[in-house]
Every structure is written in C-alpha cells, then in structure tokens.
Amino acid sequence: MSKVIGIDLGTTNSCVAVMEAGDPLVIPNDEGSRTTPSVVAFGKDNERLVGQIARRQAVTNGNKTIAVAKRLIGRRFIEDEVQTTVKHVGYKIVEADNGDAWVRVDNRDYSPAQISAMVLERMKSIAEAYLGEKVTQAVVTVPAYFNDAQRQATKDASKIAGLDVLRIINEPTAAALAYGLGRQGHERVAVFDLGGGTFDISVLEIDNGVFDVRSTNGDTFLGGEDFDNRIARWMIDRFKAEHGIDLTTDAVAMQRIKEGAEKAKHELSSATDTEIHLPFICSSASGPKHLSQELTRSQMEGLVADLIDRLEAPCRQALDDARMTADELDAILLVGGMTRMARVQDKVVEIFGKQPERGINPDEVVAVGAAIQGSVLRGEVKGVILLDVTPLSLGLETQGGLFEPIITRNTTIPCKKSKIFTTAQDNQDMVRVHVLQGEREMAEDNTSLGFVELHGLPPAPRGLPEIEVTFELDTNGILQVHAKDRGTGKAQTAKIVSTSGLAEADVQKMVTEAEQYRKSDRERRAATEARNRLDGLLYTTRRSMDEYGPLLSPQDSSILKDALYQSDRAVDSGDLRLIATAHENLAMASQRLAESIYSAARMAPQEEDEMGFGSAPAPVGRAPRPTLDIGTDIIDDEEENN
C-alpha cells in the first residue's frame, strides 16, 4: 500500500512530508532543499519548469514565469482586488469566460488551479523519488480562511496533478497537529500563521490527542508578498527621485527589484541594516545606471507599519470567538516564513502578552502536520482526533436580499443545523433556497454556492407554510441541504459542492493535458539521461583513443571512428532511439580498443616493480588472478619467492 504524503502548498514555497516508522519526515528535493519555490515557468519550446530552476531564470524570462498563483486560486476577477493581491509580477492577469482571474502566458490562458497543479505534481515527484514508489494519495493544506471556492480549486489542482486528496485541512490546524503529537495533558494554543500570501490565526485546545479547534480567523490579502511589494515600491521611488527613471516599465528591472526586496527583507531579520546593490539596472542617454541603496530595519518597519497593525484584529476576534483571553493560552506557535521578522515577533508579544514557542520550524511544520493527518486517516497513527471548524458562515437568502446564517463560522465539523422558514407570497407553490457562504449582512455580498427548489406546495396565505431547511456539513466541506414542507411532508435534498469556477469537463481536460505533460517530461528526462551517458562514453573513449589509438588495427580504428562520428550526430539530434543505438555501437567498438590495450600489455616484456615483485604472468598450474587485491598479491609473491 503506497504512502500518504502531506503537502503544504504555499504561496512562495511548498513542502512535502511523509510518516516513516511512526515519525514525520520532511522530504528534500533533488537539489537538497527541504522547501521548493512555488514557481512555474515556460521555457524554450514551451518546456515547463517548476521550482528552483524556474525561479533562477525569472529575471530573463519574467513574462513566462508565474509566481504567487495561490493568491489568485478560486478568486473572481475584480480589477482593483487583483491589483491589490498580486503586484510586480511579469505575467498578465486576465478575466476568464467564467469571471475568474486567470494567468495569460504567450496568448494562452491558465487557471490558477492548473498552475498550482504543476507545483503539486513537482511535490508528488519529489516524494516518489525519495520513496521509490508511486504516490497517489495526499493530505493538502489550505489557509484557514479560504472559502469553499478556494478549497475546491485546491482539490481540482490536486486532481489535475494526479493526486487523490483524502482531506483538505487548515494550515494552522496542521501546525498544531505537528506540535501536539505525542504531548500529554491539556493545552490551549494559538497558531499564528503569516506566510507568503495569507495570514491565519487559530485557537485550539489540545487534550491528550484530541485537537479541538475553537476558532479561526485571518486575512487572505496579507502576507510576505505585501511586505516585499512595500520594499520594492520604496526602491522604485528612491531610484526615480535620484535618476528620473521609472523602472516599473522595465520587466527585467522589476524582476530584479523584487528579488532584491525579498533578499533585503530576509537579511533584516537578523541584521539592523543592509545594502541593496543592483548594478546595470537600466541605461539612459548618459550611460548605464546602478541601483545602490541602504535600508535599515527601522526604515523597513516604517514601510510596513500598517501591515503589522492589520495582524491584531483577526487575533482579537479569534480569541473572542473562542471565548478565551490571551492570558489563558499556554503557547503561541509561529508558522510561516514571515514570522522570522523581528517586528512581527514583537507584535505577537504585544497581542498575546507572552513569548512564542521556538521549538518548531515555521517553514516545515504545516507539511509535517499534513503527513500526520494522512497517517491518522489511514489508521497508522492512533489516539489522534481532529475536530476542525468551518471558517465562514453558511446560510441562505431571505426576503429583501438578506443573508440568514444557519451554520455560523467556527462551528465544529461535521455538523447538522436546521431553521424554519415560510413563504413570502400568497399561494406560493414553490420555494427556492439560495445557499450562500460569508459574513456579510446582504446576500449579494456573500459567495453563492447553489440552489435547492421545493415544488408542489399547496395554496396557502403567505407566512402560513412551515419550510424546514437543514444544512449538513461533513468533514470534507461537502454541504447537503434538505428542504421539507412540514405540512405536506414534501422534501427535496441537494448536495452543494462549491466549484472552483472550472466545469468538470475543464478539469478532465486539464487532467489529460497534465498526463501528456508527465509523459513528455519522462521522455525528456530519459533522453537527457541517455544523452549524458553517451556524452560521458564519448569523452572517455576519445581520451583512450588519443593515448592508445596506434594499438588498433586499421579495421578496428575505422569502426571506432565511425562509432564516434555517429555518436556525435546522435547527441546533437536529441533522438532517444538514435542515442540508444549509438551508445550500444560505441560501447561495442570501444571494447575493441580495450582488447588491443590488454593484448599489447600481455605481449610486452615484463619488468619488476620498485618493490622487487615480478609482474610476470602466473606460473603454469596457477589460476589467473581474478581481482586486483594488492595485499593478497604481495603475500602470494612473497611465498613464491621464498
């Protein structure tokens, strides 16, 4: 039975973990790093690059490099919102036919779920390379404050990547699982999760293996990308004031500025000041221009002061919803790379009045928790019970366009809630239940999930019929809505599964396309490995040919030279079949050279070595030496000489 992996699909970086012999293990990628950039790029001949290799070429290929796609997943295209959410990116964001925000590269549009699928597939391949087996099941994490559309988009991305998602769980909840596994006793903890794109805060009670999420809150527009953008804007404005040049029109310069801003932010986590040097950032009539600026920690903190202040309100609300005070918390867990920032840590102390827990890795703990949850679902880890909550209220539209919650936010799932409604008009023979999700007072300001219609009501004055509406929410976030006329007993049930904006046919098309890419990727990898093997054989054969070529007969020399020529052509062609044939022919031809070398050695006069031991062939009646075992050779020769 294959392993269940845990994947933290991050805005900036992603991480994958697995349970091995009862312990969680973070799996490094083939470059040795335990996290992988959530970056996708399209190179020459539409070659797809994912991870660090995509990030490295971003400066020279910014228009075809897609980062921070998670900020767009499951979102509608609202111009102002998009510009707020994703800034300083080289690619274009467009409105798809379904009204969602998509990414355009080379006149081709990609759903953010497709881009996320490419990252998930990369994490899947990292796990498969380590485990040595195919991986098909995973637990994938999402920000706690993701709505149903964003969660469904993440599920669709996993499906496109070839993964069966056993559970979508909240990132803070996963972090708490990693922290609390094996701990005894009762604790109340707050998980403060500030990542690259989102901010979440969850309050939990951990009691001997029972993880009870009491409340969750957050801000899906607040993360490390916003901090980077503030520093980048400061760099751009300073440069313009100094040189009169607006760098925002130069895609290559903007990519370099973004990288410089991120590097400066990281350095200021441990240093009090840093120098930002970007030589040859642009050129003008007077010659090349260089960006050289000094940024202090206090300056940076001033640039992001309002972002830091936005961290407080969700924390206060989460504590109120959990009916707790900060003094009642036993631990504060810091999750996400942005929590390394000194000012963020100071803000945590200001809000909660205590120092945060230092014993967890903020970059890896979410993936570890997801892996633990996977093992819990498979029955491999015992004694762990996870009681999560729904992050947003679920309800329906009532007369006047009002939103009436039935399942309120922070309700433990699974759950079942009912309310009684009535008709708005006389002799109404049908009611239409409009199901929504959100926290706004008016229905139009919340997210529509679907409709349930109940027909065949008997004629009656308005306000007389009693329509019982029941919401049933399971652990996977799938909602069933039941509408029943209590007078006649007529009932209607519908399963409300929020969509990511992708029709099932679109998802299946993307699954097929991803499989085609997987096949071409495997073929490209096989061709590259074969070409490297042939290239290595070419190098060693040529070196031997230069040294021992005169030992070959004219016929063997001609055969070997022809094999070398054909191998050169095969390497240049990139054709896997030609490369394989050329490798086989060259390997056979080079054996002729080896035979000539050793044949000449056997015929050459033998000389004693400097230790006095003869290197002559073994005497008659003695078997030839099968291996070069020097110690044994010396003993044998000494015995013979004696």
User: Whole-angstrom Cα distance, residue 5 to residue 17?
Assistant: 6
Q: 3, 64, 70, 124: which is the annotated catalytic residue?
A: 70
Greater confidence (65 vs 85) lies with 65
- pLDDT of 622 reads 38
Burial state string for 101-119 with b = 16 or more CB within 10 A and e = fewer than 16: bbbebeeeebbbbbbbbbb
Task: Return the percent helix, strand and coil in the chain, to nearest 5.
Answer: 40, 25, 30
- For 310, the 3-state DSSP assignment is coil
**How far is residue 311's CA from residue 413's CA, in Å, rounded to a whole number?**
26
3-state secondary structure of 168: strand
- Predicted confidence band of residue 178 (pLDDT cuts 50, 70, 90): very high
Question: Looking at residue 81, what is its pLDDT?
Answer: 55
Residue 317's pLDDT band (cuts 50, 70, 90): very high
pLDDT winner (highest mean) among 297-306, 448-457, 554-563: 297-306
Burial of 632 from C-beta contacts in 10 A (0-12 / 13-18 / 19+): exposed
Residue with tokens 């996963």: 174
CA distance linking residue 181 with residue 204, whole number of Å: 14
pLDDT of residue 640: 42
Position of tokens 């971003």? 58
Highest average pLDDT, of 244-248, 308-312, 478-482, comes from: 308-312
Strands 65-66 and 40-42, by their bridges, are antiparallel
Backbone angles phi, psi at 201, to 5 degrees: -135, 125
Catalytic residue list contains 64: no
Query: What residue type is 597 in one-letter code?
Result: I
The sign of the torsion formed by the CA atoms of 173, 177, 179, 185 equals positive
Token pair recorded at residue 21: 């012999």
Side-chain half-sphere exposure of 248, counting CA atoms within 13 A: 12
**Span 254-275, average pLDDT:** 92
Question: Is the pLDDT higher at 290 or at 493?
Answer: 290
pLDDT at residue 539, rounded to an integer: 82
Q: Is 8 assigned a catalytic role?
A: yes
Nearest to 260 by CA among 217, 231, 237, 285: 231
Does the annotation mark 193 as catalytic?
Answer: yes
| C-alpha–C-alpha distance, residues 315 and 318, integer Å | 5
485 is catalytic: no
**How high is the pLDDT of residue 518?**
66
Place of tokens 């015992």: 382
- Phi-psi group of 414: left, alpha or beta (phi > 0 → left; psi -120 to 50 → alpha; rest → beta): beta
User: What share of the chain has pLDDT > 70, as a percent?
Assistant: 86
8 Å CB contact between 176 and 211? yes
145-166 per-position pLDDT tens digit: 888 888 888 998 999 999 999 9
pTM exceeds cut of 0.85: no
Exposure string (b/e) for 1-29, b if CB count within 10 Å is 16 or more?
eebbbbbbbbbbbbbbbbbeeeebebbbb
Whole-angstrom Cα distance, residue 561 to residue 196? Answer: 57
Distance from chain centroid for Cα 117: 9
Active-site choice (148, 193, 225, 506): 193
Residue 262 CB partners (closer than 8 Å, separation 6+): 228
The C-alpha atoms of residue 222 and residue 598 are separated, in whole angstroms, by 71
Q: Which one is predicted more confidently, 482 or 86?
A: 482
Q: Are 293 and 303 in contact (CB under 8 A)?
A: no
C-alpha span between 362 and 335 (Å, rounded): 4
**What is the SS3 assignment for 444?**
helix
Of 100, 156, 171, 262, the active-site residue reads: 171
Q: Which of 79, 78, 163 is nearest to 113 (CA)?
A: 163
CB-CB contact of 480 with 495 (8 Å): yes
Q: Residue 498: its pLDDT value, please?
A: 55
**Which member of 3, 8, 205, 347 is catalytic?**
8
CA atoms 562, 564, 565, 567: torsion sign: positive
Tell me the pLDDT band of 605, cut-offs 50, 70 and 90: low
* Interacting residues of 404 by C-beta distance below 8 A, sequence separation 6+: 395, 396, 397, 398, 419, 421
Higher pLDDT, 351 or 612: 351
State pLDDT tens for residues 387-422: 888 888 999 998 888 999 999 999 998 899 999 998
Strand pairing report for 273-284 and 210-219: unpaired
Count Cβ neighbours within 10 Å for each residue of 345-367 and write b for 16 or more, e otherwise: bebbeebbeeebbeebebbbbbb
Backbone angles phi, psi at 200, to 5 degrees: -130, 150
Question: pLDDT at position 399, please?
Answer: 85
pLDDT score for 83: 53
Q: Which of 256, 223, 290 is nearest to 55 (CA)?
A: 256
Mean residue pLDDT across the chain: 85
Mean pLDDT of 483-503: 75
Digit-coded pLDDT (tens) for 292-306:
999 999 999 999 999
Q: In whole angstroms, what is the distance from residue 141 CA to residue 322 CA?
A: 22
Sign of CA dihedral 265, 266, 268, 269: positive
